[in-house]
Structure 1
C-alpha cells in the first residue's frame, strides 16, 4: 500500500513490563530532552532497522537500565497518536532478567502494586495498559451446574479464592441466576475481587456485578461497548478478537485450546493456533479450554495474559 503526504507514518516501538512474582510491575520516568519529559511510562524505545521486536526490547533494556533480558513474552499491541508522532507499541511482559535496574539515562524507576499507579503524570498511551495490569492471571468461570453451588461458594470463602470470577450458569432461570450471582458477588467483593456476568441479560440489570462478558454471538451483534466498568468477550478467531478490540473491550477469552468434554468432536486450536490468532491483539487474552493451573506458565509463554478455568478453578 502506498502512502500519500497525508498518511501519518507509524513508528514501531517496543515496551517492556518488568514483572515480579507477586504481580507488581515497573514504571520509569522519561528523561530530560525527550518529548513528555518527566512523564511515567514502561521502559522501551524505537525498533531499529533489521531488529526483531524481542531484539529491540533487549537492547533498550540494556541501554536504559543495564539489565539483560532472559525471558519475555508478547502481551498486546496498541496504536497511539501523539502531537509529535504516531506509534505502534508492542508490549512484552518481562519475567526474568539479569542485573539490577539502574537509571542510566537519568530517569527514575518505581514498582507498582497490581492494579495501581501511584506516580504521575502518566504517559497518555498507558491508560488501557494500566487497566489491563489490574487483571489477575487466573479467571475463574463458575460451573455450579457441574459441581453444585455449595462447592463454588465454599471455594470463594477460602484464603486463596479467585480475584476475578465470571458467573456463567446457562441452566438457571433468571430468578435463580440473580440469587446465585448475588451470593457470589457478596463473597468476592468482601475480599476485593471482581465479578462479571455472562451475557447481556436485561432482566438482571442492577445486580451487584462489576461488568459483563459477552458470548461470541452477542459480540457479533454489539455496536457499542456496554456502559459498565469491565467488559469482555468470548472469541474463537482473529476477526472476533479484532471486533472486541475495536469496541474497546477490556479482555477476551480465546479457545478452546485443548480438547474439552464440553466441545466433543471439535478440533482445538492448540498452542500454535492460539498464538496465531492473538498475534496482533490490542487486548489481554486469556487461554480457555482443557487447561488447569499447571498450564499458566505455558499459556503466558504463548502470549496469553493468563488462563480461564472452569472445574480447575474450584478444586
Structure 2
C-alpha cells in the first residue's frame, strides 16, 4: 500500500532540537473507534495506555517512521495519513516532541507484536488519567471538532436560538456563548437556554468567562479572555469541564499551558474589519506559535469556514469564528 500524505506546513517556530522526536498514529476503525497500545511497566511512562508509534530515527522522515513503527508494533500497513497535532512536552527527565498523524486508511489485522496489549476504544470514552501526560492533548484533538462558533450580535432570544440552529444544521458542534453587553443576571438566564438548546442538538457549549456560572447554567466549560489570564495561577474549572483560553502571543500560550488549558484560540491570523489597527499574525507566524503550544489551537481572525483545511496545514485544530459561522444561513 502506498502511503499518501496530506502535508503539514513546515514551520520554524518549535524549538525541539533536544527533544526525542516521536511519530504517533491515531488509527481509526470503521466504527470510529481508536486503537490504543499498553506500555510495558518497565518503560518510561510505563503501565499506561498510549497511541501507537515510536522514535523517528536519524535521517528518517516522520511519515517513514510512522509506517515502520506501526508495521513493527501492530503488523499493519498504513495508507493515507493527515496531520493532527504536534505536542512539545517536558517530563522533567525527558523532553519529547510528539508528531501526531491521523491514519485514515490501513490494511492488516492489528496485533501486539511486541507483547503489548492493544484495544479499540470510543474516543468519547478516553480518560486522560490512563495516559502519559503528553498524550492528553491528543485526546482533546480527537474529541474536538474542526469548527468553533463564537456567538455574535442578536436582537432577542428568538434570533439567538435561530442563528444557533442554523449553525448546528451546518455541522457546528462546539459553541462559545459570548454576549459582552448583557448584565451577569441576564447572561446567566440566556446561557441556561443556550446550553440546553445546544445539548439537545448534540453540541457542547462554553461560557465566555464567568466560571462562577458554570454549574447553574449547565455549560460544558468556560472560555477565558486573554486579559483575564494574569488573574489566574491555576485552572479555574475541574478536569470534567472544558477550559479554553484566548491568546495572541507566545507568552499567553505558555500561561494557558501552565493553567492546563484544554485548547486555545490564537488570533488574529488575518486582518479583521473589527480591529483594523491590530497587525495580523499571518499564517507563517500562526504556524510557528501553534508549534510551541502543547494543546489544540484554533485559528481566529479574518478566517472563514472554508479555511479549515488551510488552518490544519498550518498546525491548527480548525477554525474559530464569529462572523463566518454566525451570519450564514443553513
How many angstroms does 1:22 deviate by? Answer: 9.0
Give 1:103's match in structure 2, choosing from 89, 111, 119. Answer: 111
Q: Which consecutive residues of structure 2, in runs of 5 or more, have no partner in the other structure?
A: 1-17
Q: Which moved more, 1:215-224 or 1:94-103?
A: 94-103
Q: Partner residue of 1:242?
A: 254
TM-score, normalization: structure 1? 0.80
How many angstroms does 1:104 deviate by? Answer: 6.8
Task: State how 1:181-260 maps to structure 2 within 5 Å.
Answer: 181-200=191-210, 206-228=216-238, 229-260=241-272
Equivalenced residue count is: 303
Give 2:313's match in structure 1, choosing from 292, 298, 301. Answer: 301
Partners of 2:131 and 2:234 in 1: CA distance: 26
Higher normalized contact order (CA 8 Å, seq sep 6+, divided by chain length):
2
User: Is 1:92 equivalent to 2:92 in the alignment?
Assistant: no
Give 2:300's match in structure 1, choosing from 280, 284, 288. Answer: 288
Q: Which consecutive residues of structure 1, in runs of 5 or more, have no partner in the other structure?
A: 1-8
* Closer, same or farther: CA 206–62 of 1 in aligned 2, 3 Å: same
How many angstroms does 1:90 deviate by? Answer: 0.8
User: Is 1:265 equivalent to 2:290 in the alignment?
Assistant: no
Q: Which moved more, 1:95-104 or 1:287-296?
A: 95-104
Q: Which moved more, 1:85-94 or 1:26-35?
A: 26-35
Q: Which moved more, 1:153-162 or 1:280-289?
A: 153-162
How many angstroms does 1:245 deviate by? Answer: 0.6
CA contact (8 A) 1:167 1:181 kept: yes
SS in 2 for 1:170: coil
Q: Partner residue of 2:3?
A: none
Q: Partner residue of 2:286?
A: 274
Task: State how 1:18-33 maps to structure 2 within 5 Å.
Answer: 18=27, 25-30=34-39
Q: Deviations over 1:222-269 (max 9, x none)?
A: 211103422111001111111101111111001111222222133222
Aligned structure 1 segments of 4 or more residues deviating by more than 6 angstroms: 20-23, 31-38
Q: Deviations over 1:128-170 (max 9, x none)?
A: 532443222211111134x765344124445555321101111
How many angstroms does 1:295 deviate by? Answer: 1.1
Partners of 2:84 and 2:106 in 1: CA distance: 19
Q: Which moved more, 1:108-117 or 1:183-192?
A: 108-117
SS in 2 for 1:206: helix
TM-score, normalization: structure 2? 0.77
Partners of 1:230 and 1:265 in 2: CA distance: 32
Q: Which moved more, 1:42-51 or 1:11-20?
A: 11-20
